[in-house]
Structures are given as C-alpha cells and as structure tokens.
C-alpha cells in the first residue's frame, strides 16, 4: 500500500502541475496535453498507472476486510484514546475516502480523456483540451462536485503520505507526517483552484 500510494502521490504532483498550465493560456495547456498524448511511451505510462491504481485499491479493500475479520465483534466505544493515540478522522475513514476516489477516477477519465474532441482553431491537429476543461467547470454542479471530491482526496493524502512511510518500515516520524500534511494541503488547494477560478471567472479565463 505504501509503495503504490507514494507512486500515486508522485503522479498527482505531476498531474496538478501540468493542469495548472491552464492559467498560462491556450497554447501552454494544449501543447502540454498534445506532447503527452503524442509520446509513444504514453501507453506504457497509462498501463503502469492503471496497475498502480488497481493494486492500491485491491490491497486497501483486502486490508480493511482483514482488519474487520480480526475483530468480528466491534469495539463498544470508538472514541479517540487521546495522548499517544494517533487516530484521526482522516486515518479512520481511509477506506471511505478511497472508495470515493475509486468512483471518481473512471468518471473523471471518461469526462476528460474520452470527452468531446475539439480541435484547436489556432493550432490545427491539436486537441483543444483547455476548451473542454473550461466548458466543464462553467457548470455549477460540476464545479461543486469536483471541489467536494478533491477535498475528500486531500483528506486521503493528509493521512496517506505519513502512513505510507510507516508501512514501508521507516516508522513513525512527526516531521514526515507534518511534511505529508503540508504536501496534501498544497496539492489539494492547487487542484481546487482550477474548477473554482474557472467558474468564478465566468469564462473570461
């Protein structure tokens, strides 16, 4: 879980950085998208990404089931122990935030990767992916849905980064945990800024 989780976080850092090019104008964003899809290595990268997602989800579900089976009769009280207890809302809802991600990713890929193909007027032969993203986030329902789901994903990362190092045997480190939380916050705010700025600028972007 730790290794696949950290690899997926690396993907998200790359993905959000590329997506922020939407604020750098039509050419920058569409040229980035075009460079990605016209690279023959894209199929290898996509297959690797799919494998990472699937193994992360499957391990997460198996692990949750094993945890439940290990304690067939649940705790009578589910409070935080306080003090040395590192239990948090994010850590106890990882399976739920993970299931939200599991539902989100296929819908998201379907909406963008397999969404409407507009050809760029300025650069014939190049997909105008920026137009599709801007059109999508001009709809209030899409924007609200994305903001909520991205916040839930941020919650998953908030606990996931530090926890991944524990799974990998590094042990508990407060500094690493804080670093992971800061990283989760930056990734989430950067992602959320995209639908929000597009929606609030009312197509003027």
Structure tokens at 145: 């849905």
CA–CA distance, 17 with 125 (Å, rounded to integer):
24
Please give the residues from 133 up to 152 whose contact with ligand HEM meets the rule CB under 6 A.
133, 146, 150
CA–CA distance, 202 with 14 (Å, rounded to integer):
27
Structure tokens at 198: 């597009």
Structure tokens at 185: 């916050």
Question: Which residues, at least 6 apart from 115, have a Cβ–Cβ distance to it below 8 Å?
Answer: 132, 136
Q: Is 113 in the site for ligand HEM (CB under 6 A)?
A: yes
- CB atoms near residue 36 (< 10 Å): 13
Q: Is 198 in the site for ligand HEM (CB under 6 A)?
A: no
Which residue, 133 or 184, has its beta carbon nearer to ligand HEM?
Answer: 133
Applying CB under 6 A, what is the total number of residues that bind ligand HEM?
Answer: 21
Using CB under 6 A as the criterion, what x/- string covers residues 32-71 for binding ligand HEM?
A: -x--xx--------x--x----------------------
The position carrying tokens 């690396």 is 10
Q: How far is the CB of 109 from ligand HEM (least distance, A)?
A: 5
The footprint of ligand HEM (CB under 6 A) covers 15, 19, 33, 36-37, 46, 49, 101, 105, 108-109, 112-113, 129, 133, 146, 150, 153, 191, 194-195
């Amino acid at each position: 879980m730790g290794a696949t989780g950290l690899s997926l976080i690396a993907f998200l850092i790359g993905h959000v950085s590329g997506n922020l090019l939407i604020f750098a104008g039509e050419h920058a964003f569409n040229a980035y998208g075009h460079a990605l899809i016209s690279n023959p290595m894209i199929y290898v990268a996509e297959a690797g990404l799919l494998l990472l997602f699937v193994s992360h989800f499957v391990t997460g579900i198996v692990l949750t089931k094993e945890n439940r089976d290990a304690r067939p009769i649940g705790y009578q009280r589910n409070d935080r122990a306080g003090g040395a207890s590192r239990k948090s809302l994010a850590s106890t809802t990882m399976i739920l935030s993970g299931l939200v991600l599991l539902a989100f990713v296929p819908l998201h890929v379907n909406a963008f990767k397999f969404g409407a193909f507009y050809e760029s007027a300025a650069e014939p032969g190049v997909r105008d992916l920026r137009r599709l993203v801007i059109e999508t986030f001009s709809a209030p329902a899409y924007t609200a849905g994305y903001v909520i789901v991205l916040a839930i994903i941020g919650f998953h990362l908030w606990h996931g980064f530090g926890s991944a190092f524990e799974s990998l045997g590094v042990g508990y480190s407060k500094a690493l945990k804080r670093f992971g939380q800061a990283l989760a916050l930056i990734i989430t705010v950067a992602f959320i800024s995209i639908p929000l700025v597009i929606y609030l600028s009312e197509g003027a972007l």
